[in-house]
Chains A and B, each alone.
Chain A
């Protein structure tokens, strides 16, 4: 932290004077909109920073301004730099960073739709969230807007990019898809067989979750966090709980910390097994798909046996875990995992020697390393394209730093690499659970939250969800409520990468590429 502050002081001797350190690893810097691009580019280019979140907050009731928060992660040093920009209420515009920093693209459009703050110089003026059916001049995340207000729908607009040229045609797909999956609209521009361009229109499952959280009690907001994305229930509740624990200044009892590791890794194992089954079914490899589905079924049985919930809900709470689910399972847990590990080893052996299968997944849906870095692609798709980063290693939370495990990395960025990352992570998760179960100490499973939690205090909660870096920012309000809850799931970062990985491939390979990313629509749309 010291060297970082010295560096910033040296480069910006006059502008860098308003800073403070919060929650051990967050450096908050107040910046002026005039110097925002300089600061950002310096963090991006010189300090190897990555823009991991960007959001607005209506702080007019507190200080008369809108606030923008640019969250930069200096991953090699395990630090966050949060640039805080104040915008005057009567001139709500800010300089767009998208042309220099591609990762800012969707955040800025999101802020424009939800807060009515204008990113000056943004290359894409279209709306993102409401498909044109929302009344003009009404911004749901401003404080005057009450969540129970449900304005009527206008007719949706059809403002897709058009690709013109001889023989180019469009294939519209969705929002209701052929399989049992979530809704989203894909527009393919195709010439002959290969896809020239894919545009994904999402936000069909936009529910207004962040607005709903505002004013909710901190206890109740946990249930909302668990329901952001069904298959990441535990990861999302974990990130939320961590943020609240940081604000309340709570130190987690060791038993709860290790228990959280066990559940988080079970969720990863469960999710990856489902993805592997999906990849196999999309190349019509029924035998392997059913093997993986059987393994996933075993995993579900194990989670249900441990905590009576197939989706690992109702376990976490701020301050620890709700019930001691692991007492009496000391023998059962390693046994069940060994059975899964053995069967997984056999199945992986079979699919990897099937040349017909490998032929389909190899060199399909390539995401280049440069694109992955520019777009801040996180999790398995990032690690399959050589982005060597995992929150469990770089920003250790719970007690991950006491365990020894490997984070797999591959370099080609194709479906095969993403599949291999997931396979290797399954084995790593089993190993982590084994270690955590051995180290699981006796003792308390939770500590109570203080009677009153300090209002208008904020913290970042983060965890490596099965899909990658998961970042939640919570700001408390009066009477133990939530003032602002910004959720940034890994799916939000990875959706643009899916479109990039698809171009040049043939349309029938799209489901396969899509499955190898397996992004959450609910986690993106909120």
Chain B
């Protein structure tokens, strides 16, 4: 008992001040960025990218579609002109998927997307004070799930925002979905969504949930949550760090 008390006194609070104060990003690697002035359009990065996330737009500028990027930084490594750099930006979540993209989705993909219906402001405000989250893994590699788990650790302590993870979708206001939606999980995901009471939000966590990521061509993957459910916010990353997920949750609530 005494040794326990000693530890509790020694480590009183481990909680980071994020988002009130910025995170120490000394060692953080965030979004890769292409400098259009240095880029020679040699297309080496386009060939080297394992998820075909790098595209060239109508203005002949290369850019990265962050919803598909798996943050392997191969592009930065192989660029002969050193035009691709690794930035420290990790707060990448967006409410609209097109904000994450350099080039628009093809018409075919667009047709499959279920566009989120806008929840009225009042409902969002009501959810904003206290939020109950149900996490659903729809085929992730478990990296994103470990990072979501990390929100509950002493460093991030999600409960300080009045946000809790709940055991049942019937208690949930938000579904936090990871993974590219596998065929075996599709029904379970739909039923979980139906079981959650309205109004509800859906947040896609990680490259797989945003676009299918590296698994988009798998025979048993649907390729992104927005082909099955309306999505209110997208959090890119592979996996996104806990603070990036926190930022995305707050973004979905318009509390950032």
A-side residues, CB < 8 A to B, are 130-131, 133, 140, 145, 147-151, 153, 156, 175-176, 178-183, 203-209, 211-212, 219-220, 223-224, 227-231, 233, 274, 287, 290-291, 293-294, 296-297, 300, 304-305, 308-311, 313-314, 322, 346-347, 349-350, 520-522
Asked if A522 and B142 make an inter-chain contact with CB atoms under 8 angstroms apart, the answer reads yes
A-B contact pairs, 28 of them (CB 8 A): A130-B183, A130-B184, A140-B220, A148-B217, A149-B219, A150-B219, A150-B220, A176-B169, A178-B167, A179-B167, A180-B152, A181-B145, A204-B185, A207-B218, A208-B218, A208-B221, A209-B215, A212-B218, A227-B215, A229-B141, A230-B146, A293-B153, A297-B150, A297-B154, A308-B86, A310-B147, A310-B241, A520-B142
Q: By the criterion CB–CB under 8 Å, are A206 and B28 in contact?
A: no
Distance in angstroms between the alpha carbons of A223 and B69 in the assembled complex: 12
Chain B residues near A228: list those with CB within 8 A: 141
Q: Given the interface contacts A209-B215, A311-B239, does A176 sit within 8 Å of B136 by beta carbon?
A: yes
Across the interface, do A205 and B137 meet the contact criterion of CB distance under 8 Å? yes
> Considering the chains assembled together, what is the distance between the CA atoms of A208 and B212 in angstroms?
13
CA distance A203 to B185 in the complex (A): 9
**Contact indicator A147/B182 (Cβ below 8 Å):** no
CB <8 Å contact, A180 and B145 = yes
A37 to B7, CA, bound (A): 59
Contact in complex: B154, A290 (CB < 8 Å): yes
Contact of A207 (CB < 8 Å), options: B146, B165, B186, B220: B220
Given A206-B182, A212-B218, CB of A346 within 8 Å of CB of B146? no
Q: Would you call B141 and A211 a contact (CB within 8 A)?
A: no
**Closest CB-CB distance, A383 to chain B, in whole Å?**
23
Cβ contacts under 8 Å, B7 to chain A? 287, 291, 346-347, 350
What residues of chain B lie closer than 8 Å to A175, measured between beta carbons? 185, 188
Asked if B182 contacts A205 (CB within 8 A), the reply is yes
Q: Which residue of B lies closest to A150 (CB)?
A: B219
Using A294-B14, A305-B27 as known contacts, say yes or no to A205 and B140 having CB atoms under 8 A apart: yes
Please provide the chain B residues from 122 to 164 with a CB less than 8 Å away from any CB of chain A in the complex.
134-150, 152-155
CA A297 to CA B152, docked complex, whole Å:
11
Contact A294 B214 (CB under 8 A): no
User: Which of B35-43, B70-78, B97-105, B247-255 contacts its partner?
Assistant: B70-78
Find residues 166-200 in chain B having any chain A CB closer than 8 Å to their own CB. 167-169, 179-180, 182-188, 192
Task: Find out whether the CB atom of A293 lies under 8 angstroms from the CB atom of B184.
Answer: no
Given A183-B185, A297-B150, A297-B155, 19 other A-B residues pairs in contact with their CB atoms under 8 A = A130-B183, A145-B219, A147-B219, A156-B184, A156-B187, A176-B169, A183-B138, A205-B179, A207-B215, A209-B215, A228-B141, A230-B145, A230-B239, A231-B143, A294-B155, A296-B153, A304-B27, A310-B147, A522-B142
The reply to whether the CB of B107 lies closer than 8 angstroms to some CB of chain A is no
**Cβ–Cβ < 8 Å partners of A156 in chain B:** 184, 187
Q: Which residues of A contact B27 (CB under 8 A)?
A: 304-305, 308
- The answer to whether A206 and B141 touch across the interface, beta carbons within 8 angstroms, is no
Q: Is B4 in contact with chain A by the CB < 8 A criterion?
A: yes
- Give the complex CA separation of A347 and B139 in angstroms: 35
Q: Which residue of chain B lies nearest to A520 when distances are taken between CB atoms in the complex?
A: B142
- Inter-chain contacts of A313 with B (CB < 8 A): 72, 238
Q: Which chain A positions have C-beta within 8 A of B146?
A: 230-231, 274, 311
Q: B16's closest neighbor in chain A, by CB?
A: A297
The answer on a CB contact under 8 Å between A322 and B77 is: yes
- Indicate if the CB atoms of B215 and A233 lie closer than 8 Å: no
Q: Once the chains bind, are A133 and B184 in contact (CB under 8 Å)?
A: yes
Q: Residue B3 at the A interface, CB < 8 A? A: yes
- The closest CB in chain B to the CB of A138 belongs to B219
- Distance of B142 from chain A, by nearest CB (Å): 4
Task: Give the complex CA separation of A297 and B8 in angstroms.
Answer: 17
Q: Tell whether B230 is near chain A: CB-to-CB under 8 Å.
A: no
Contact A314 B73 (CB under 8 A): yes
Q: Are A230 and B143 in contact (CB under 8 A)?
A: yes
Counted as pairs of residues, one from A and one from B, with CB atoms less than 8 Å apart, the total is 174
| Interface contact A230-B144, CB-CB below 8 Å | yes
Write the B1-30 contact mask toward A (1 if CB under 8 angstroms, else 0): 001100110010010000000000001110
A349 to B72, CA, bound (A): 40
**Is there contact, CB below 8 Å, between A153 and B153?**
no
Query: Across the interface, do B143 and A294 meet the contact criterion of CB distance under 8 Å?
Result: no
A229 is contacted by which of B48, B142, B192 (Cβ under 8 Å)? B142
Q: Which residues of A contact B182 (CB under 8 A)?
A: 204-207
Contact across chains for B188 and A183 when beta carbons are under 8 A apart = yes
Instruction: Report Cα–Cα, A305/B154, bound state, in Å.
Output: 19
Given the contacts A297-B155, A521-B142, A522-B142, A176 and B188 also touching, CB distance less than 8 Å: yes
* Contact, CB under 8 Å: A220 / B50: yes
Contacts of B4 on A, CB cut-off 8 Å?
Answer: 287, 350
For the complex, give the distance between the alpha carbons of A336 and B104 in Å: 45
Closest A residue to B139 by beta carbon equals A205
Which of A140, A208, A229, A346 has a CB less than 8 Å from the CB of B3?
Answer: A346
- Bound together, the chains give a CA A311 to CA B134 distance in angstroms of 24
Assuming A205-B182, A211-B219, A322-B77, is B50 touching A182 (CB within 8 A)? no
Q: Are B153 and A209 in contact (CB under 8 A)?
A: no
A308 to B27, CA, bound (A): 6
Complex CA–CA separation, A346 to B142 (angstroms) = 30
Contact in complex: A178, B168 (CB < 8 Å): yes
Which of A156, A274, A310 has the largest number of chain B CB atoms within 10 A? A310
CA A178 to CA B219, docked complex, whole Å: 29
**B67-91 at interface with A (beta carbon < 8 Å):** 70-74, 77, 86
A22 to B32, CA, bound (A): 42
List the B side residues contacting A176 at CB < 8 Å. Answer: 134, 136, 169, 188, 192
Which B residues touch A205, using CB under 8 A? 137-140, 179, 182, 184-185
A274 to B70 CA separation, bound complex (whole angstroms): 24
Verify A182–B137 contact, CB threshold 8 A.
yes
Q: How far is the CA of A181 from the CA of B168 in the complex (A)?
A: 13
B148: min CB distance to chain A, Å: 5
Nearest-neighbor residue (CB-CB) of B213 within chain A:
A227
B145–A182 CB distance below 8 A: yes
